[in-house]
Amino acid sequence: MERNKPEAATRGIELLRNPSLNRSLCFSESERDKLGLHGLLPEAIESEAISVERIRLQIDGKGGDFDRYLTLSELRDADEELFFRVLRSDTARYLPLVYTPVVGEACLKWSQIFRRPRGLYFSLKRKGRIRELLRNWPERDVRFVVVTSGERILGLGDLGANGMGIPIGKLALYSAAAGIPPRFTLPITLDCGTNNDALLNDPLYIGLRRRRPASGELDEFVEEFVTAIEQEFPGCCIQWEDWARADAFRLLARYRDRVCSFNDDIQGSGAVVLAGLLNAVRITGSTLAAQRFLFLGAGAAAVGIADILTQALKLDGLSEEEARGKIWLSNRNGLVESTRGDLSDYQRRFAQVHSPTRNFVDVIESIRPTVIIGVSTAAKAFDQRVVEAMARHNSRPIIFALSNPTSRSECTAEEAYRWSEGRAVFASGSPFAPVDFGGRRFVPGQCNNLYIFPALGLAIYNTRCQRVSDEMFIEAARALAQLVTEADLQAGLIYPPQSKILETERAVAERISKIIYARGLNS
């Protein structure tokens, strides 16, 4: 990752107060002379390794992961380069502290822990002024924006302006996992109010105190935002993050062919699940085309995964009709079937011909899926009856409990292995510790978009890609799946270890870049 260098005009205490320039005790003797730092720092001149070790000791001394999140946030506000060095010193350990699962708790408490702003907040009160306000950002070369409306944060619902933790966390992973310099990234919240009464009545809430607008007013605001980004940061990639379901699909469709943009909840989720499934069927000795997929949840993530699956199955030789026939969705109102009158357009294309069924176990008994995928945010929805039903119909049931944070997971790894008598091929959205069962140790896979979006960002950064296609996500999934070794599979691990995330991102980015060049998407 490129290092920021102190500008001649930035000296002394102002330099030490600038997190993108501050290097604290790592400034050399000559730098301290030149930059007016003597007296402002203790005499010790230390290596970067010693600075990292000091922070690691501070983190170890904290009582829980949320306190560790706060410590890392404070570090970033003081010394950004050291923050990223710490993250990269042990990615498997520290990345979960700055993103899932800990970021969920941070978003719930965002107004209480708010100390120093990061990124940009544009509220509806500033409509008509977004381009002007973009100029308040100090960097003029922004390559990546992650933007949220805060309406559907992880599995936690409408958190309004408190959802800013998500764009900040996502972009931290662009830099920590893919090496993209942080100065090229910008987290943004479009604050359109909130329908969360608890927040509206909270005296500490930092966001706009009004209810959310109708879609027409929202779309006008988003259009102004996209136009302003195009004008101020030409070629910038926009990542849509944690928008309400209908908004997510509508905005992706509207802008995907106009600007470089993608929706990680839809396309990124689809790619990382596809990668896991490609390796799950390696374990079971089957093929993707031989599976029957049943989703619990029918929102943006479910349909995004289903869309990517459909395309992958078509590439395996199935027709569109055959591919969709293998994919079933279910939500709180039951199976997504053709007689239901409450379906959105994006759900309707996956409606199957079947009698109305509300009980998930009954759906399993009827259609006998080989794979169940939980994206419902309904904690413990994959109970013992569900897992046992899957195990009854499959020698190696594939069970993906993907809802985040951990408190919303459909089941734990231990439950999946125990209730299936150790036969489940399991993955989750949040990390679970290895499980010892029946004389074996199982290492649960974490189906985390972290494996996809930083690699996509790195490919876009290196190629100056102008548009993002679904083919790029399918290629990313295939590349990711092929990085898992036979030894990993033997342990039940269907994703590469996060300790190897830097190598993983580079390898996946290389494969995506080849698609970009082959399709002329960089010009």
- What is the distance between the alpha carbons of residues 379 and 366, in angstroms, rounded to a whole number? 23
Positive/negative CA dihedral, 310, 451, 268, 456: negative
What one-character-per-residue DSSP string does 25-44 give?
A: GG--HHHHHHHT-BTTB-S-
Taking CA atoms, 62 is separated from 56, 85, 115, in Å, by 10, 19, 19
Catalytic site residue from 170, 174, 255, 346: 170
User: Which pLDDT value is given to residue 493?
Assistant: 85
- What is the distance between the alpha carbons of residues 49 and 45, in angstroms, rounded to a whole number? 12
170 annotated active-site: yes
**What b-and-e string marks burial along 360-396, b requiring 16 or more CB atoms within 10 Å of the CB?**
beebbeebebbbbbbbbbbbebbeeebbbbbbeebeb
User: Which pLDDT value is given to residue 3?
Assistant: 52
- What is the distance between the alpha carbons of residues 214 and 217, in angstroms, rounded to a whole number? 6
Q: Start-end ranges of CATH 3.40.50.10380 in the chain?
A: 98-259
- The beta-strand segments (E) located in 297-382 are 327-331, 334-335, 371-374
Weakly modelled stretches of the chain, pLDDT under 70: 1-8
- What is the distance between the alpha carbons of residues 32 and 447, in angstroms, rounded to a whole number? 46
Q: Start-end ranges of CATH 3.40.50.720 in the chain?
A: 267-447
User: Which pLDDT value is given to residue 91?
Assistant: 94
User: Which pLDDT value is given to residue 175?
Assistant: 97
Q: Which of the four CATH numbers 3.40.50.970, 3.40.50.980, 1.10.10.10, 1.20.1370.30 does domain 12-89 have?
A: 1.20.1370.30
**Matching residue, tokens 């992880």:** 154
34 annotated active-site: no
Is the peptide bond prior to 405 cis by the omega test (within 30 degrees of 0)? yes
Residues 6 or more apart whose Cβ sits within 8 Å of residue 93: none
User: Which pLDDT value is given to residue 491?
Assistant: 79
Are 94 and 163 in contact, with CB atoms under 8 Å apart? no
Strand pairing partners for 294?
328, 372
- What is the distance between the alpha carbons of residues 509 and 507, in angstroms, rounded to a whole number? 5
User: Which pLDDT value is given to residue 297?
Assistant: 96
Closest CA to 93 of 114, 117, 72: 72
Q: Start-end ranges of CATH 1.20.1370.30 in the chain?
A: 12-89
User: Which pLDDT value is given to residue 100?
Assistant: 87
Positive/negative CA dihedral, 176, 178, 183, 185: negative
98-259: CATH class: alpha beta
Calculate Rg over the CA atoms of the chain. 23
- What is the distance between the alpha carbons of residues 183 and 23, in angstroms, rounded to a whole number? 16
DSSP strand pairing (334-335 vs 371-374): unpaired
User: Which pLDDT value is given to residue 287?
Assistant: 96
Catalytic site residue from 69, 94, 99, 255: 99
The CATH code that applies to domain 267-447 is: 3.40.50.720
